């Protein structure tokens, strides 16, 4: 009986050992690992890209024309208002208030800020120039975060940091391709010559 049980255990071990094991095929040198934005997830990344792009683009449009959402018509950029004054003047009692207060209302700061909003928003909505949009958008968001330090609702984390992280993810996941012009943009001679513009 002990011999039979021993044989049964032996046969069981052999059966387990002989069971097929699926091993992923080795990757050739230089072969890329599939991007995070593949399958259905790529559409979630594309939706996030378009949504955040619209936030930048809408801020530009509302501040330019004063459509009454965040900017009244009287304070619109086209009516002589300064798109940076309201936010930056409100930082007077914050950590870097002196620095940001000095920048408030400066024409070059207004132009740089508005050009950034329009460029980042357009690039994200269209899915082009994702690397530049993520980098410049992240920098703009980090500066806005720094202007509000110390934060009122959290020791260090707020929506500016979250959006900056998402922008990085968008660029890394190639989120400009689905529902966007990223593939066509990357194939242009300019972008092939200057890959930083992808």
Residue found under tokens 């990223």: 182
Residue 166 is predicted with a pLDDT of 97
Residue pair 83/114 in contact (Cβ under 8 Å)? The answer is yes
User: Both tokens of residue 34?
Assistant: 């599939």
Of residues 118, 130, 113, the one with CA closest to residue 58: 118
Cα angle at 38 between 32 and 39, to 5 degrees? 140
| Residue 192 counted as domain residue | yes
> Rounded to an integer, what distance in angstroms lies between the CA atom of residue 4 and that of residue 25?
40
| Residue 26 counted as domain residue | no
Residue 67 is predicted with a pLDDT of 94
Residue found under tokens 């095929």: 25
Domain that residue 116 falls in: 52-197
> Could you tell me the end-to-end alpha-carbon distance of the chain, in angstroms, rounded to an integer?
72
| Residue 117 counted as domain residue | yes
3-state secondary structure the chain: CHHHHHHHHHHHHHHHHHCCCCCCCCCCCCCCCCCCCCCCHHHHHHHHHHHHHHHHHHHHHHHHHCCCCCCCHHHCHHHCCCCCHHHHHCCCCCCCHHHHHHHCCCHHHHHHHHHHHHHHHHHHHHCCCHHHHHHHHHHHHHHHHHHCCCCCCCCCCCHHHHHHHHHHHHHHCCCCCCCCCHHHHHCCHHHHHCHHHC
| Residue 172 counted as domain residue | yes
Residue 92 is predicted with a pLDDT of 82
Residue 4 is predicted with a pLDDT of 44
| Residue 132 counted as domain residue | yes
| Residue 42 counted as domain residue | no
Residue 34 is predicted with a pLDDT of 44
Per-residue pLDDT of the chain (198 residues; tens, 9 = 90+): 444 444 444 444 444 445 554 544 444 555 454 455 568 889 999 999 999 999 999 999 999 999 999 999 999 999 999 999 989 988 888 999 899 999 999 999 999 999 999 999 999 999 999 999 999 999 999 999 999 999 999 999 999 999 999 999 999 999 999 999 999 999 999 999 999 898
How many domains is the chain partitioned into structurally?
1
| Residue 151 counted as domain residue | yes
| Residue 105 counted as domain residue | yes
């Amino acid at each position: 009986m002990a011999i039979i049980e021993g044989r049964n255990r032996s046969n069981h071990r052999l059966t387990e050992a002989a069971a097929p094991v699926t091993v992923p095929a080795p990757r050739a040198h230089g072969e890329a690992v599939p991007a995070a934005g593949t399958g259905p997830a790529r559409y979630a990344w594309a939706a996030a890209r378009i949504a955040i792009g619209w936030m930048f683009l809408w801020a530009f449009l509302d501040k330019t024309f004063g459509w009454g959402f965040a900017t009244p018509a009287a304070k619109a950029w086209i009516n002589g208002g300064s798109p940076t004054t309201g936010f930056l003047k409100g930082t007077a009692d914050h950590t870097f208030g002196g620095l940001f207060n000095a920048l408030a209302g400066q024409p070059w700061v207004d132009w740089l800020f508005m050009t950034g909003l329009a460029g980042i928003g357009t690039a994200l909505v269209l899915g082009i120039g994702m690397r530049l949009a993520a980098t410049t958008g992240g920098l703009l968001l980090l500066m806005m975060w720094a202007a509000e330090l110390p934060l009122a609702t959290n020791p260090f984390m707020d929506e500016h940091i979250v959006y900056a992280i998402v922008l990085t993810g968008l660029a890394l996941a190639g989120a400009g391709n689905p529902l966007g012009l990223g593939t066509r943009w990357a194939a242009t001679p300019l972008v092939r010559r200057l890959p930083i513009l992808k």
